Chain A
Amino acid sequence: MASSDVARQPDQGTRPLSLAGHVGFDSLPDQLVNKSITQGFCFNILCIGETGIGKSTLMDTLFNTNFENFESSHFEPQVKLRAQTYDLQESNVRLRLTVVNTVGFGDQMNKQESYQPVVDYIDKQFETYLQEELKIKRSLHNYHDSRVHACLYFISPSGHSLKSLDLVTMKKLDSKVNIIPVIAKADTISKSELHKFKIKIMSELVSNGVQIYQFPLDDETVAKVNTTMNGHLPFAVVGSTEEVCVGNKMVKARQYPWGVVQVENEQHCDFVKLREMLICVNMEDLREQTHTRHYELYRRCKLEEMGFKDTDPECKPVSLQQTYEAKRQEFLAELQKREDEMRQVFVQRVKEKEAELKEAERELQSRFEQLKRLHADEKATLEEKRRLLDEDLSSFSKRKTAAQLLQGQSLAVNGKKDKDRKK
Chain B
Amino acid sequence: MIERPDTAVPSIAQRNLEGYVGFANLPNQVYRKSVKRGFEFTLMVVGESGLGKSTLINSLFLTDLYSKDYPGPSQRIKKTVQVEQSKVLIKEGGVQLTLTIVDTPGFGDAVDNSNCWQPVINYIDSKFEDFLNAESRVNRRSMPDNRVHCCLYFIAPSGHGLKPLDIEFMKRLHDKVNVIPLIAKADTLTPEECQLFKKQIMKEIQEHKIKIYEFPDTEDDEDNKLIRKIKEKMPLAVVGSNVVVEVNGKKVRGRQYPWGVAEVENGEHCDFTVLRNMLIRTHMQDLKDVTNNVHYENYRSKKLAAVTCNGVDTTKTKGQLTKSPLAQMEEERREHVMKMKKMEAEMEQVFEMKVKEKKQKLKDSEAELERRHEQMKRNLEAQYKELEEKRRVFEDEKANWEAQQRILEQQKLDASKTMEKNKKKGKIF
Contacts and interface: CB of A to CB of B under 8 A. Distances in A.
Interface of A: 1-3, 5-9, 11-33, 35-38, 41, 43, 62-68, 70, 78-93, 95-96, 100, 103, 117, 121, 124, 131, 133-138, 140-141, 218-219, 221-222, 275-276, 279-285, 288, 296, 299-300, 303-304, 306, 308-310, 319-321, 324-325, 327-328, 331, 335, 338-339, 342, 346, 349-350, 353, 357, 360-361, 364, 367-368, 371, 375, 378-379, 382, 385-386, 389, 392-393, 396, 400, 403, 407, 410, 421
B323 A136 contact: yes
Contacts of B332: 331, 335
Given A335-B333, A342-B340, A280 B25 contact: yes
B285 A28 contact: yes
Interface stretch (B89-97, B163-171, B193-201): B89-97
A111 B351 CA distance: 56
B90 A281 contact: no
Given A23-B280, A321-B303, A328-B329, A284 B394 contact: no
A30 to B, nearest CB: 7
B5 A396 contact: no
Nearest to A87: B14
Given A5-B119, A304-B138, A281 B25 contact: yes
B17 A64 contact: yes
B391 to A, nearest CB: 5
B55 to A, nearest CB: 14
Given A23-B280, A31-B283, A319-B133, 9 more contacts: A11-B85, A14-B87, A29-B35, A33-B34, A35-B289, A93-B24, A131-B327, A335-B332, A349-B351
B313 interface: no
Contacts of A5: 118-119, 122
B215 interface: no
Nearest to B412: A410
Contacts of A304: 138
Contact of A35 (B285, B376, B391, B428): B285
Nearest to A324: B307
A6 B126 contact: yes
Interface stretch (B172-180, B206-214, B357-365): B357-365
B301 A367 contact: no
B276 interface: yes
A296 B140 contact: yes
A28 B344 contact: no
A25 B284 contact: yes
B405 A361 contact: no
Given A64-B19, A134-B325, A78 B380 contact: no
B281 A284 contact: no
A324 B119 CA distance: 28
A357 B344 CA distance: 22
B226 interface: no
B60 interface: yes
A37 B88 CA distance: 30
Contacts of B325: 134, 136, 324, 328
B362 A357 contact: yes
Contacts, number: 362
A324 B12 CA distance: 39
A134 B324 contact: yes
B346 to A, nearest CB: 11
A89 B384 CA distance: 115
Interface residues of B, number: 134
A281 B297 contact: no
B382 to A, nearest CB: 11
B160 interface: no
B22 A279 contact: yes
A367 B281 CA distance: 104
Given A280-B22, A357-B355, A410-B412, A331 B333 contact: yes
Interface stretch (B62-70, B228-236, B255-263): B62-70
Contacts of B343: 342
Contacts of A338: 336, 340
Contact of A121 (B2, B31, B39): B2
A25 B97 contact: yes
A375 B276 CA distance: 116
B314 interface: no
B407 interface: no
B190 interface: no
A299 to B, nearest CB: 8
Contacts of A284: 26, 29-30, 32-33
A386 to B, nearest CB: 6
A16 B2 contact: no
A410 B84 CA distance: 155
A16 B391 contact: no
A310 B139 contact: yes
A35 B292 CA distance: 14
B319 to A, nearest CB: 10
Contact of B126 (A1, A70, A324, A400): A1
22 contacts: A7-B82, A19-B91, A22-B62, A24-B276, A24-B280, A25-B92, A31-B282, A32-B34, A33-B30, A65-B16, A83-B3, A84-B4, A84-B13, A95-B26, A117-B1, A141-B292, A279-B21, A281-B29, A284-B32, A304-B138, A350-B351, A392-B394
B421 interface: no
B315 interface: no
A117 to B, nearest CB: 6
Contacts of A299: 138, 140
Interface string B242-261: 00000000000000000000
Q: List the 6 shortest-distance A-B pairs measured between CB atoms, nearest first.
A: A134-B324, A26-B93, A320-B136, A284-B29, A31-B285, A280-B22
